[in-house]
Structures are given as structure tokens and as C-alpha cells.
Structure 1
């Protein structure tokens, strides 16, 4: 059985009791960039909460005491300006309809032109993370292409498929091709990373927002470029969207099912997710398929012949299978052109789809039914335009010449002709935090800055490396100052991100320092493998580390802080780049 190490800094996310469709004694929060772990701990302590970081992201699972009201705590935390959001850890079902194990053929491969696409790519070199009920690792059509996975739900390495759903989804996307066995997945040479996020009970197969967000983050941190989640009711989750944006920032794409309720799901669209509705053999909407403005594309989802948990094959119906069909096409495209970004693959996927229903994008079929043959032709011929236009950035809050103290909310407006990749916030020339998704909001601990006028600047970057700098906003820092005796106590320094584990792509390094004489007098230096990468003054230091430019393997990040009296402290974290 292929397995992987535990999620960095994250314990098992087992199922507590449910009430009203959400987990008891557990909620989800995301802190704004710049908020220290210590400050977040103080906020959560008011409610008896204890946080558990999800991978290398800013998401946290918060465990609550038995007597706490999850609804009440979420309502209070949603009003905290230091947090991007707080939400209940809702339970969601798998997006499968009835199945018929007795007859069928892989009509969907012909419908989407997969055989033609295979002349250009079979998906080799791309990993598809299947976030589901597990995968039968002994299935003859899957076992040769499995890579290390993880059981997020139980916090162990048991990938046993508890529902059968995950094995069927995995085979739809990537059952091995040309092995004279069973069926062929859309991307039959791609690798499958099994991530168990679900549990089974008498009502079916279910997952939580927390296990899904953890699975997406794990996939992003461990080199998967595609994540497929065939569960419904997740496109409106702030935690799932945050995790999807995190995977997008690593060059990946997240595919989800529209649902099988045959209704308008009334979910706000978000570009971080590829939401797939289901079509039948006549290119009509499948009778069960949900729709809505959040649908971006459609794909075959009726009578899909695929792998099952009994080491055999059967037919399945549902948007559970239209999503991995589309994910498989994206894997073919990424394998053919690994130089293209996730955003470019997503755009080509949409632009080459077969327009169905109302002209252009519509709520039933999105941009249209996926077309693998057309997508591969366009991918192979694509030439990336040269982007020389810098983003535009402006600080919306705080206002110039205002007085600030304590934790200060900073809001940045940023835009670009192609897209903003990240925004760095600088105070007096030191990067204190990085945000990779809109809205670009930060929590600046002004106690780490000397009293008096301080200059705030935001720098927005696009994927081409163009940078746009905002106008400087000068504010008056006015924190209470305490006079102390001679300082012989060294500062405290913590690397809050990354944590020990695996890292990929751009990594937002976050360092927090504090001192009994105040953080304003601290100077912090970040070194990676002994080479100085960044330095600055105050209580916070941020740095964007592009791990694509370093060798694969272990790297040591070291932070050294010195206070005004010359006392020093050092801390390190060891990570593995892929």
C-alpha cells in the first residue's frame, strides 16, 4: 500500500457528533496575513478554542470545549477584523446517483474526443489527487499508477475505500490505459494520489469542510497539480475556497461536482473552482444534474463505465463522474504543456468546450461540454503572450495621517490585466506579510513598530514578475510605552510558516518576534541553507520563497532576532521541497 507521512502540524480530523449538518466541538477559521500565532491564540482563547494548522496554508481547525455553541462562536468570530472568515464545519454528501453494474461501454471517451487527444498526451507526469472515500489500492487498473496518499479523516495511512465511491472516481479520471485490462481512464498514464476525506454511515458517504480543505492543502503541498472532489455543497464554503486558492497559487486546479439535485444550487461563482455539471449521450443536461451560475463547464456523467471496489467494473451516474472526466482532460493538457500555468490550462479548457444551451456561458452547461480533442489541439499550439504590464495597487485602509495602535487592519486594492499573483505589505521597508488571494487584507501588529510616523506600502506582483507599488500611506503609530530595567532577556522568535513538512512552488515565509522591551527594537534576519534572504525591523518579517528555483530535497530556514540591547534568539525549521 502506498502511503505518505502525516499532515504537517495537523492531527486527525475524525468525526465528532453531528447536529444540524455540522460537526460538534469544531469550527474553521482563517487569519489575515500578518496575524501572529500568539495573537490568534489569544482571540480563540476567549472561546476556549485551540487551533490546528492545516498544512502550509493559513487555515486552522479550531477545537472547542464540549459546552461551547459552535453557531455562537462562529457568529462572534465573524465580527473579528483580524480574521478573514470563520465558519461551521459542515458535513456534505458524495455526488453520486444510482449505479447499474451490468452493462455499458465507455461512450463518454468518444463523446469528448479522448482517443484523438491521446495522440498528443496520456497524462504522464501529472498527479491527480482524488479526495474521496479512499481507493482500492489493489485494483489492477489503478495499482500501477498510485502515488503516496493519506487518510485525512482518520489521520493515518489506511487508504481503504469505505464506500466504493473513491475507487470509481479514480478510475474515471485515470484508470490505466493500454494494459489489456478493464477500462481506460481519460488520463490513463497520469498518477493518482488517494486522499481519504470521507466516512460511511447508514445514509451514505459523507465528508466535512475540514477534511476537504485539509485534503486540498495536502495535495498542493505534495506536488499534485489537480484535485478532484466529487462531493456536493462545498462550492460555497469559505474554507474550501481558501484551500482551492492556495492550490491555485501552486499552479494547480480544483474540480468539484455541481450536484445531483436537479435544481439551481444558487451558489456564488468563484474562479478558484472548476464546477462541473453532467450531460448525457445526447449532449443534454443529465436528468439529475444541478445547475446555477457557479457551473463553469459540463461533461458526460451518465452510465460511466469505471473501476469498482470489488476489483471489477461497473456503471455509475452522477456529477461525481463528470468532474473527474474533466479533471482527466486537464491532466492531458498539463502533461502536454507543463510550462503552462493552471490559469492558462483552465482558460483553454473553457474556450475549447462545445457550446451547449444558450450561447456563451450559461448556468446549465457553463462554457460548454468539455472537448478533449479540441483542448489538446489548442494547448499544443498555445503561445503565451508577453506580459509587460505591471499590476496596480492602492492602500484603502488605514487612511493617511491617521493614528493607529495595536492590531491594525490593512486593506489593499490590487488589479492586473492578467491577474494578481500576490500582494506584499511593507512597513518602513520591511515585508511583514503576503496575501495570494483577493480580498487582500492584512493584520499588522503595530506594537512591533516604533512610535511615530510609519510608512505603509503595498506591492502587487503578477505571474510574469511585473510589480506595481502603491502610493505610500504614512500613519502615526501611538502605542503605550512601558519603561523597563536593563534588558537581559533575549527576544522570542517563531517561524509560523512554513511548518516542518513538504513545500512546493511559492512559499510565504512568516516570522514573528516579540521581546519584553517591545518588538519595535527587534531586528530579524531570515537565512535559507545559510544564505541571508531577508531582514527587517519590528515584530514581523515576511518573505516569498520560490522553491522552484532550489534543488529538490531538505532545506533549513533559520530566523535570528536581536533586540535593542543586543540579546539574540534563533529558531529553525526543516522542510522538503519537491
Structure 2
């Protein structure tokens, strides 16, 4: 009898279903544009990202604590009307997202200022990766550097004149899949930047070649080039020794050193490591500069280092 009594609670539990655990985790949301500190001179598009593991029911936003428009489906983009906002003072935007269980998540606030005059100055933009003349393959991260005196709204990317994508998130990047392009073909790339005042600018056009994965026999292997010194983020002054490791299956025939996209030095049949004495005395204090090296072989293949950023003190 005692054993039977001990089994009764266990049998009772088997006959009962456990209560379902409710979702108590709120969604995650962030304001992608405008970005922190933006200066806006006209109505712009607010871009919000939101996600939740159980699904979203709606997303909305606030301006200076006042709830504005909401949407129940992506994309979560809204028009920011600045006509009633005081100029030259700080304003805040915050997004909110609610999931299907009623949990609400809030984004960090984004501060912005409404300008007191129209923005007539266009932004500037340049492709920083890949480099012109580079041989590329697989997935290529096309990276653009864009600046504006007030705020960059978005950057669009173009390949062979066709628009392939745009982003309002920094760093401005597009992942280009080259697998659908014929081997050994050349292609043009440029970026177009837009600011919050409706101005736009186009970067210089670069040309790259899709790596010849197939095709006639011969040397199709590009050289390798790697910075040994300095490393990105380094602060330099005076004359520094730039050191680059160069290699190729048949030998490097030429190397070129670029500063801010301008050819600064070249060498035929360079040794490895290739060392160049770079005089930084003409550069402004606290200014940032981009460095890269191109390496060529006798077959015309080109290899490029990654882009390296240093600050001159």
C-alpha cells in the first residue's frame, strides 16, 4: 500500500500537461538612419531595423517623445517631417517594436539637429576597396568612404553602370558575387552618395578584372602583397619605413606605393620585404591617410594589399 501511495503523485503528473512558458523577451530594434549627430535640412527617410525570435506585430517611432507612424510589415521606413521642429536645437528619435506576445523593445535614442539653412554642398565619396586594376574573385566587399558637412543619407553602388544596391549604414559596403561574371572580363565600379539635403556625388570610376579561373594555360596567379609595417590605426610622424612582404609564383616584376589613392613610389623587380621611406612632413597634423601597395608579375597579374589607415601626428 505504501508503494502505491508513492506512485500516485507521479501518475497524476503524467496526466497533466505542463503550463506553456510564455515569451517574455522583447524585440530588438535600432534606428539606422538618421545616425547620431546628423544635421538635417529637409524631410528625410527614417530607416529602422527590428527583429524578434517569435515574430513582430508592429514597429513605430518617436520624435522628442511623441509617438508617430507605425507599420506592421517590413521594410520599416518612415518619413521624418521637420516642418514643425525647432531649428538649431537637439531633437531625438527612438524606435519601438512589439512582438506577437505583446513584449515591447526600444532602441537607443538618436540625436539630430535641424539646420537653419538649406544644404547646398554635395557629399564626397570614393571607393576604398577593391582598388582600380585589382584582380578579384568570389565575394568581393565593395567599400565606399563617404563624407558630408551635415550627414550622408545613403550610398548606392553601381557595377558596369547598373545599380546593384544601396545602404544607409556605415561602413558603406556591398557584397558583390563575381561568380556570375565571365572569366578574365573587366568591370567598372563606382558609388553615389546622397546627403540629407538632397545633394549627391559620384565617386571616381575604378576598373577591376574577374579572376581567370578557367581559360588558356599560363600564369594566372596574382602576386601577394602584405603590409608588415605600419599596421592600420598606427600614428606616425616624420619619415617612416613602410615595409611590405611581396611574393609570386614566378616573381614580382613591379611594386607601387599609393597614399590617398595617389601613386607615390614604384620599384622594378623589388626585393621582399620591399622598404620605402615615406616622408610624412607635408601632411597636416592629426590627419588620416590611406595606404596600399600594388604588386605586378610579368604576366600582368595584379595583387593589392588591403587598405591601411594611419594618422600623421
User: Which range, TM-score by smaller chain?
Assistant: 0.3 to 0.5
Of Structure 1 and Structure 2, the greater strand share is in: 2
Of Structure 1 and Structure 2, the greater helix share is in: 1
> Given the two structures, how large is their TM-score scaled by the length of structure 2?
0.39
> Given the two structures, how large is their TM-score scaled by the length of structure 1?
0.22
